[in-house]
Amino acid sequence: MQSTPTARFCGNCGVQLFGPAFAAGQCLSCGFPITDTVSAAEAQSIAKHFHQATPATVPISEAGMGTDERLTAPATYIGGAPPKPPKRRRGLWLLFPFFLIAFLLLFSWWHITHTDTTAYTPPTATFTSVPATMPGGAGGTATAVPGTSATPPPGTTATPAKGTPPASTPAPGVTPTTGPTATPVPGAPPTIAVSQTTFSQLLCVATTITFTVTNSGGGVLNYHVTSTNTLYRIRPTTGSLHAGQTDTVTVSGILTGGTITVSAPGATNTQTITLKCL
């Protein structure tokens, strides 16, 4: 009957010895030369002799290297959140809004300084009256149609331009008379009408708006557009409108809220336009 092999331990540190340790001739844990081996019971007595508990055994691979999975396992966070990012990274995120505001202010300044601020002058129509020579030497004078200057030869009838009513040839000694002229109804004053009286913007960064001004009354409306905000660029600031005519007004360079007033001498009313930056 074969006896059960007895486990052998190092006589210095008490670690169990295996084949690679015997091949090396020393304990792979403490390097103590193998000169004597003791049994498990003797290892316990040796541990008591040195007043210490029996050390835990370290498994040895075939290559003779000790391994411990606790030393190579990935770290996990139990019962808590992972650590916060470094303060330096959080500081960069806090500075981002300041960089954004600085960029918007720089863009607004560039837009204001690179935009033409020349006042807009609306075109005016010019009519020229040219005296016409009566055919056949007849006396009297006739008023030519605005924009025409042709003089018909004696004894002929001038061909009217497109859109001009045909002219008749008066008999000798007869003075021609002009036709009736359309005039506004007496006592009908001009009235100011605008397309919109309130504008609301989420963010006013060099914003531009447009609205129309109409003479909804009679006569001639000589309007003026003014603002309480000196940074607003308004085009046109003045204009002249007959009954039913309309002008388009553009306001640019809006950075803050304000009011715009459209007024005219002799008009029945005044319009106020409010700009809001939310």
Please report the pLDDT score of residue 60 as a whole number.
46
- Distance, in Å, from the CA atom of 135 to the CA atom of 15, rounded to the nearest integer, reads 142
Cα distance between residue 222 and residue 213, in whole Å: 11
Task: Tell me the C-alpha to C-alpha distance, in Å, between residue 66 and each of 13, 58, 152, 153, 218.
Answer: 16, 6, 125, 128, 107
3-state secondary structure 48-91: HHCCCCCCCCCCECCCCCECCHHHHCCCCCCCCCCCCCCHHHHH
Place of tokens 């001004």: 213
pLDDT, one tens digit per residue, over 117-160 is 444 555 555 555 545 444 444 444 444 444 444 555 565 555 55
Q: Is the dihedral of CA 175, 180, 184, 186 positive or negative?
A: positive
pLDDT in tens, 246-278: 999 999 999 899 999 999 999 999 999 999 987
State mean pLDDT over 58-81: 50
Can you tell me the distance from the alpha carbon of 158 to that of 143, in angstroms, rounded to the nearest whole number?
14
Extract the tokens encoding 273: 């336009």
How distant is the alpha carbon of residue 170 from its chain centre? 70
Report pLDDT digits (tens) over 78-125: 555 566 666 666 677 788 888 889 888 888 777 666 655 444 555 555
Q: What is the largest CA-CA distance in the chain?
A: 168
Q: Report the percentage of the chain scoring pLDDT > 70.
A: 49
Ramachandran angles phi, psi of 124, nearest 5°: -120, 140
Report the DSSP beta bridge partners of residue 207: 254
Tokens describing residue 150: 């042709």
Residue 58 has pLDDT above 50, yes or no: no
163-207 per-position pLDDT tens digit: 444 555 555 554 544 444 444 455 689 999 999 999 998 788 888
SS3 220: strand
Please name each of the domains of the chain with its CATH number: 19-72 (no CATH), 192-277 (2.60.40.10)
